[in-house]
Amino acid sequence: MPTNQPIVLLRERGGERYLPIWIGAAEATAIAYAQQGVVPPRPMTHDLLKNVIDELGHRLIEVRIVALKDSIFHATLVFDGAVEVSARSSDAIALALRAGASILVEDSLLDEAGVAIAAEEDDEVERFREFLNNVSAEDFDNPGETGQAETWPPAQE
């Protein structure tokens, strides 16, 4: 598995499965900007593509993650008028977020590459994320001195 590389986790609605998709740094930035509502001073590539689609009078209806071939996820952009265009999954996700389009994953693909995470484990992941957001390097400097080091999992009260 790739290491030190951004990952997108698509979560199944009403289920416990996630689809992990490793992506490039540029696409991770584009996805993060869209999620956070960051508007760059000049359009990034995905913003430009969305602007072109809008100016041509069309609309991105949905993105489908359709296949996994040679460890690479493949996607399809579905536009109004039933036009479909093949795309990299990371680009498709970045564009879908900008266009407000649905992101769908084939059930067979979720069966093949999805990872099930039970609700309790999902809660544990969220608690760990919160722990990481609140811990600092100073918490671990001298754990035996005046303060007490943060630990994971947190002590039960």
Calculate mean pLDDT across residues 79-83.
91
Please state, rounded to an integer, the average pLDDT across all residues of the chain.
83
Calculate mean pLDDT across residues 86-100.
96
What pLDDT does 119 receive? 66
pLDDT of 62 > 80? The answer is yes
What pLDDT does 138 receive? 58
| CATH architecture assigned to 7-116 | Roll (3.10)
pLDDT of 151 > 90? The answer is no
Residue spans of alpha helices (H) in the chain: 25-36, 45-55, 89-99, 107-113, 119-134
Locate the domains of the chain by residue range. Answer: 7-116
For 64, residues 6+ apart whose C-beta sits below 8 A from its C-beta are 75, 76, 78, 104, 105, 106
Candidate ranges 31-35, 124-128, 137-141; pick with highest mean pLDDT: 31-35
What pLDDT does 146 receive? 44
Does this model's pTM top 0.85?
no
- 136 confidence band (pLDDT: 50, 70, 90): low
